[in-house]
Amino acid sequence: MTAEVNNPTSANGEANGKRAFEMPLFELPKMAFPGIFLDIAEQSALRVKENCEKMTAASGEMADAFRETYSTSAKASADYVVKVIEVSSANSNSVFDFLTRLIGAKSVSEITRLSAGQARKNFDVVSAQNTELWGLAQKVAIETAEPVKKSVTMVLQKVI
């Protein structure tokens, strides 16, 4: 069928009993595929199914690894927070002790001596606290990253 362009059309879009601008229908011819194509299609479908199964298993393993990592991270982070609270408490007590001694000072020279001693003590204590907190932060990072690293490596070896 071809399109009718020059025919006058009626109100409902028909031209002399035929619809105007009819387009031919495009259909793929029905043909038989040679057996080799069917074999290739079956093999491809089988490979896709196997890969989907592998990816599903890998996804489950990754979920388990992330659960373990989250648990480890939560515990290590809680340990870090506890250490920060201990450090803060120790520093607060040190400040109150210093203020108590400062209030009891009798002269400007004694205030200067107490201040210098407190500054030296604070430097030493804060240096040690920072070293301890840094070590704890590194431990948290390593303990959190290690299970993920192992799991990703294991899953990728299985999938590839």
Average pLDDT score over residue span 95-110? 92
For residues 93-117, average pLDDT: 93
Per-residue pLDDT tens digits for 3-29 = 444 444 445 445 555 555 565 555 555
User: How much is the pLDDT for 2?
Assistant: 43
pTM: 0.56
Of the candidates 55, 80, 71, the one whose C-alpha atom is nearest the C-alpha of residue 156 is 55
Give the per-residue pLDDT at 55: 82
Q: In this structure, are residues 40 and 107 in contact, taking their beta carbons and an 8 Å threshold?
A: no
Name residue 34's amino acid: P
Residue type, 64: D
Helix (H) or strand (E) holding 53: helix 35-103
**Beta carbons within 8 Å of 24's beta carbon, 6+ residues apart:** 1, 2
Model confidence pLDDT, tens digit, residues 110-141? 999 999 999 999 999 999 999 999 999 998 88
Helix (H, G, I), strand (E, B), or coil: what is residue 29?
coil
Q: Rounded to an integer, what is the distance from CA 73 to the centroid of its chain?
A: 14
Could you report the per-residue pLDDT of 46-87, keeping only the tens digit for each? Answer: 888 888 888 888 788 888 888 888 888 888 888 889 999 999
DSSP 8-state assignment for residue 11 = T
